[in-house]
Amino acid sequence: MRPTPWLRAASILTLFHSISHTLGGVFGAPAPGAQQTAVDAMKTNLFPVMGVTRSLWEFYRGMGLGVTIFLTVEAIVFWLLGNLCRSSDADLRPVLAVFLIGYLAFAVNSLIYFFAPPVVVELLIAACLGMAMVSIKRPVARPA
């Protein structure tokens, strides 16, 4: 199998991850009780940081949106790499290896600090990237 379908799959999974993260994490509503109390405390306690006043909630929301932005950009990059694999003999293995290692680290981070669904998606993305890597054919050396 060629690398393009694997990169398309990684792209779609990454876009799914981005949308799920945004809807469930960044804009998800806290449950009444302890979760709501924690969110209220994050919103009401302000402190100065580098010349501006921010709450922990603003940092939480901003970083969450930052993850959404980068996941969306990665989904687009994976799609574009799929196009590049079809039209070029460029060896993309090192680029894919960086993303593969990053997604494995992302999965470990999610396992430690979050919960199973993102871990599963991140491991699926890593698997797609790994399959794309191994399916890239080495260019045939051309005589000079």
User: CA 105 to CA 67: how far, in whole Å?
Assistant: 14
CA distance 87 to 81: 10
Please list the pLDDT of the chain residue by residue as tens digits (144 residues).
899 999 999 999 999 999 999 999 999 999 999 999 999 999 999 999 999 999 999 999 999 999 999 999 999 999 999 999 877 766 899 999 999 999 999 999 999 999 999 999 999 999 999 999 999 887 666 676
Segments making up each domain of the chain, as ranges: 3-135
Per-residue pLDDT, 88: 73
Scanning the chain, the segments in alpha helix (DSSP H) are 3-20, 34-44, 56-87, 93-113, 116-135
